[in-house]
Chains A and B, each alone.
Chain A
Amino acid sequence: MKTLLIVEDDTDIQDYYQILFGDLGVTTLQAYTGRQALAFLDAGQPVDLIILDIVLPEMGGEEFFRALRLERRSTIPVIVCSVDEKLVEPLHRIGTVQATFLKGDPGSVLVRMIRGLLGLS
């Protein structure tokens, strides 16, 4: 069973993701800040894909991504989700972002991305 780590501070959007990913047959971990996300990783949770929002309290998406890619040298695939593609640009300079999803676009697009990256049908 694949595990998805969803980093998003807006609970409405977290709920939306839950509904959206319901049929995927994956386990979801919900982190509301970058720090919480790192805690999940530190706890040794096996994570196959990270859904990352940029604007987060305490530790933002960019900071988390830097810690992920540069400090921990993690190669876990990341789909960055944001309302504004401009906010995603800095992350490309830090490391590999597997995909970018613009919030508000049809959810099916995001699901297709996840299926592709996790190798699901």
Chain B
Amino acid sequence: MNLRVRLIGGTVLLITAIGIAVLLFLRVSLKAKLQGELQMRGISIAKFVADACAHPIITENIVALQFIVNNSRKVEEDIAYVFVQDQAGAVMVHTFGETFPVGLRGVNIPAAKPEPRVELLRTNEGPIYDIATPIADGDLGTVHVGLHGASVRRSLATLMGAGIGVTLACIIVFGGLALTADLLITRNLSVLSEAVGALGIGDLEHRITVTARDEFGALGRAFNAMADNIQRSEEKLVDLNTSLLREIRDRNRAQEELRLASGELARQNEELKKLDRLRDGFIRDVSHELKTPVAKHAMQLEILRNLAEREGFAAAVEPVVGVMETSVRRQQQVIRNLLGLSRLEAGVRGYRHEPVRLDEVLHGVIDDYRSLAAAKGSTFTLALAPLTILSDGEMLWHVFSNLVNNAIKFQREGGRGEIGISVAAEGAEAVVRIRDQGIGLDPEERTKVFEKFYQATASTEGSGVGLTICKMIVEGVGGRIGFESEGRGKGATAVVALPLGERDGA
């Protein structure tokens, strides 16, 4: 049921109900009141008449009595009749004209004097109130005044009619008011529900035009404010969503890149591993291929020497064979050390920790270079203490070979230099000194010689490994390497200091 029906219907029903209730109440109370009033009137009239009748009765003046009775009847319209009864109940005078209704005779006998008694009679003329008043306390008789009760009804009817009219008017007025109110409410509500509906389906632009300053106006303004907020929030959400999507896209892209990079990394790793394997294989193959011919040289030289000895031309071939044997031995050593070095650099081989007799290693190196030194006119002066340290003999051979080679190589022009080699324990170190009387080094060169590619003169003898690698090896086994020189033209001393362990020594 919609608002209008409820509002108006309710109003109508309410007013009707109130109206009915009020009217009923009024009717009941008024009826009683009116009846009472009527009776009072009747009683007063009756009393008046009674008083007036007293003297005529006493004087037995019927004419006067009739006169009084007739006159009193005219007092009011509603008086239907007046009659007087004597003590015995006989009707002395009446206003009925010719005949007195028989039925009235025994009516309404006042029970208790001197009070008047009212009795309602139902006659053909309608309800009549018979008011019987005792005359002189009933000693002289009774006055009966008959009042038409219809007037009461008439009054009531008029009142009721008016009441109903008023009620109807109220219904119309209040119904109208209700309608007006409803119209007002409905109109505003429909504006609001339209706005809400619009908002509901997503029209965030919709606003209510507010003109009123009442509660509806406030509601409308509140709605507008809400719609503003929603619209702003929506915009913010859209922005947020856009930036989130962008971020997701970026992140996805980054992830994809990461995945690709990771894949690339895995691939490169595989490549590196393959290269590692290839390199190891290469070193093995090269090793074999280098060593085999040299080994065969050694074998053939052995055969040659044996043959020479057997056939007796050993002395003749000795110089040649001797040089070849030396050369082969050097080759073997060089190859061994080169391969050891390359394995070291490749990380395949680590530094060994074995007992190394430094003096023996140096003896070995010196033996190798003896012929070369002799050819260059250099002599060796030795002071080799028999020191044993825990280190990598093969790699140290490398270093010393290089240093001795340099000592020989950098002799002064045509100089008959002395190469002094010493091994001695100095404190916690075993120190090897290789001193030459060669071209020497100035202060700057003393450190620069260890730099890669410094003085890149290809070495024809020795292992061909630079001082850079010597430094790497010496430091790798925990030692120090350096040059001492008093300057150009004053020779130089290579100093290698190696840690002398607790148990190391002679």
Contacts and interface: CB of A to CB of B under 8 A. Distances in A.
Interface residues on B, range: 10 to 19
A58 interface: no
B296 A12 contact: yes
B291 A104 contact: yes
Interface string B290-305: 0110111111101100
B351 to A, nearest CB: 17
Contacts of B328: 104
Contacts of A19: 303, 306
A84 B295 CA distance: 10
A104 B266 CA distance: 44
A103 interface: yes
Contacts of B295: 83, 102-104
Nearest to B331: A104
B288 interface: yes
Q: Is the interface of B mostly helix, strand, loop or mixed?
A: helix
Nearest to B348: A86
A87 interface: yes
Given A19-B306, A104-B294, A104-B332, A83 B288 contact: yes
Nearest to B287: A84
A67 to B, nearest CB: 22
Given A16-B303, A19-B303, A19-B306, A104 B298 contact: yes
A106 interface: yes
Interface string A84-121: 10110000000000000011111100000000000000
B284 interface: yes
Contacts of A104: 291, 294-295, 297-299, 328, 332
Given A19-B306, A104-B294, A87 B288 contact: yes
Contacts of A12: 296, 299-300
Contacts of A16: 296, 299-300, 302-303
Nearest to B296: A12
Contacts of B306: 19
A30 to B, nearest CB: 16
A83 B299 contact: no
Given A19-B306, A104-B299, A107-B299, A83 B284 contact: no
A47 interface: no
Contacts of A103: 291-292, 295-296, 298-299
A12 B332 CA distance: 19
B300 A84 contact: no
B302 A107 contact: yes
A26 interface: no
A10 B296 contact: yes
Contact of B302 (A86, A102, A106): A106
A83 B296 CA distance: 10
Interface in A1-47: 10, 12-13, 16, 19-20
Interface in A33-85: 55, 83-84
A55 B296 contact: no
Interface in B327-342: 328, 332
A86 B292 CA distance: 14
B274 to A, nearest CB: 21
Nearest to A12: B296
A85 to B, nearest CB: 10
20 contacts: A16-B299, A16-B303, A19-B303, A19-B306, A20-B302, A55-B288, A83-B291, A83-B292, A83-B294, A86-B287, A87-B284, A103-B295, A103-B299, A104-B291, A104-B298, A104-B299, A105-B298, A106-B302, A107-B299, A107-B302
Q: Which 10 A-B pairs have the closest CB atoms?
A: A104-B295, A83-B291, A103-B295, A104-B298, A16-B299, A83-B295, A83-B292, A84-B287, A107-B302, A19-B303
Interface of A: 10, 12-13, 16, 19-20, 55, 83-84, 86-87, 102-107
Interface of B: 284, 287-288, 291-292, 294-300, 302-303, 306, 328, 332
Given A83-B288, A104-B297, 9 more contacts: A84-B284, A84-B287, A84-B291, A86-B287, A103-B291, A103-B295, A104-B294, A104-B299, A104-B328
